[in-house]
Structure 1
């Protein structure tokens, strides 16, 4: 393997994927949410940089071509697993279906590529597939952000009874702890993340079907 900068970035992103889950094992929330969010954002940025630098510097390698999609899938799959496992009961039902579609597609296409072997390399990645990956990563980043707001809000209302919280939220009592902006941040990051995740799930299903359709001629006996 040639240890070029693009390849190093791809390997670091691959290592970062399981670290997203590890954050929730060794840190309390919201620190775990913060660390997972930062780690995911940095890894997502390197996804663009390693491909751009490899093309710009003429450093495209077979190893890089193999590691890059694996790292992308590992980041998305592990992050979705963490989000579904640690999300509140209010959000979980809306997360499960799009997460299931995304996970099913990734497993299905990975198995199909393994079966096709060398032929899989001739099935080019479409622009829609790249948009799919980008949408997944942005959606997951928003959902990690939702966890940050949710836990800061929860920490702020410790010791308050529901009447005081309601009075603050309706403006009857001065909002000294910033409950309203924390609540709005939680709601809008959560909703934005969910909408983007459903869009990503739709793109994932379309690109998965497109890949299957392209592979049909190679599946005939």
Structure 2
């Protein structure tokens, strides 16, 4: 199997994740590294991964270099990127609000992935394609996560920007539920066994 450039970019996005995790915890592992340097670098890596998400899709469409492996790997990389980073944030700042918000986002991703897989099996994958609402949700998630990665400081008494990021993530979770309901509504005729859905 020949791997094209868009797929290499997707693989690169996956490989960035363990690097981001190590960088995020570098202050704990090596206390002489300032937490601010660790946070900024981790946020930059996450942002780079998010940019490759857009770029690999653009190149695949522009150069007509789509592949079955790339189509499989791209959504997996996206969900890994968000899920791993949310786990990091919840572990380092274990508030009820952040934990519930992360659970909603991750739970929705699992549910919609399962729905898309099932719809594909019955030949109706096009009914649950990514909509504009889902794209807006993704952008808000990325902005929120970047802010949260930048602003976490265990020693700070006030974390104003952290609360901004947390608020944005809550809004992203609301959009997550909304877009999930949109997908569910589109798939509902097939889910209830309506033969005319096709």
Question: TM tier, shorter chain?
Answer: 0.7 to 0.9
Alignment length (residue pairs): 185
Deviations 1:139-188 (A, max 9, x none): 101000012xx25xx4xxxxxxxxxxxxxxxxxxxxxxxxxxx878x412
Q: Does 1:220 align with 2:192?
A: yes
2:118 alignment counterpart:
115
Deviations 1:13-59 (A, max 9, x none): 12223443344556536254344212211101111111111112221
Q: Distance in 2 between matches of 1:41 and 1:120?
A: 33
2:68 alignment counterpart:
62
Q: CA RMSD in A?
A: 2.3
Q: Does 1:98 align with 2:71?
A: no
Q: Distance in 2 between matches of 1:195 and 1:25?
A: 24
1:194-205 equivalent positions in 2, closer than 5 A: 194-205=166-177
Deviation at 1:196, TM superposition (A): 1.2
Structure 1 residue ranges without an equivalent (≥5): 155-181
Q: Distance in 2 between matches of 1:183 and 1:121?
A: 49
2:11 alignment counterpart:
11
Query: Does the 8 A contact of 1:17 with 1:71 survive in 2?
Result: no
Q: Distance in 2 between matches of 1:197 and 1:183?
A: 21
1:175 alignment counterpart:
none
Deviations 1:74-103 (A, max 9, x none): 10011001100011x6xx233122112101
Structure 2 residue ranges without an equivalent (≥5): 29-33, 194-198
Q: Name the CA shift for 1:187/1:59 in 2 (closer, same or farther; >3 Å).
A: same
Q: Distance in 1 between matches of 2:124 and 2:13?
A: 23
Q: Distance in 2 between matches of 1:99 and 1:195?
A: 12
